[in-house]
Amino acid sequence: MNNRQQTYYDLFDVHPSASALEIRRAYRELSKKYHPDTTILSTAVATSKFQALNQAYAVISNPERRLTYDLEIGYSRVVVVQPSSFQALNSRPDNYRSSAYLDPTDRPLSSGEITALLMLVVTFLGCLVLAISIGVIRGEI
């Protein structure tokens, strides 16, 4: 049995990290479904569901009220990245992609990193050619 109390997010069938747009879309869809004038439910049931829906939307559509509500239900928007142990890194499935990139072999180089490496190589080769050409011009080589 699940003794967990239903939250406003459950009412809208969205995750607590849902964006304001996702919440608004869910609210509009459910308000059409439960509005007393447009539903096949009895007026009393439709009215109570519609009022609960409006109350939930009033709370989670307002950023300050939503933050307070999230604290009440125990949801935190703070993401904590904890380093994994060596065993945990080796026991991951091959298709797992870490968003924190704790393992440097976990991801390919980005285009910016490739460009930076290319610029370093070109600069090194340019300096080498310049040093050799100066030596040839001075007659030291």
pLDDT tens for each residue of 46-57: 899 999 999 999
* 12 and 68 inside one domain: yes
Give me the chain's average pLDDT, please: 80
Residue-level pLDDT at 118:
96
55 falls within a domain: yes
14 falls within a domain: yes
111 falls within a domain: yes
92 falls within a domain: no
CATH of the domain at 19: 1.10.287.110
| Residue-range definition of the domain harbouring residue 49 | 8-73
* 23 and 66 inside one domain: yes
pLDDT tens for each residue of 81-106: 555 555 544 555 555 554 555 555 56
Kind and range of the H or E run holding 87: helix 86-90
The number of domains in the chain is 2
Can you give the pTM of this predicted structure? 0.51
Q: Are 66 and 58 in contact (CB under 8 A)?
A: no
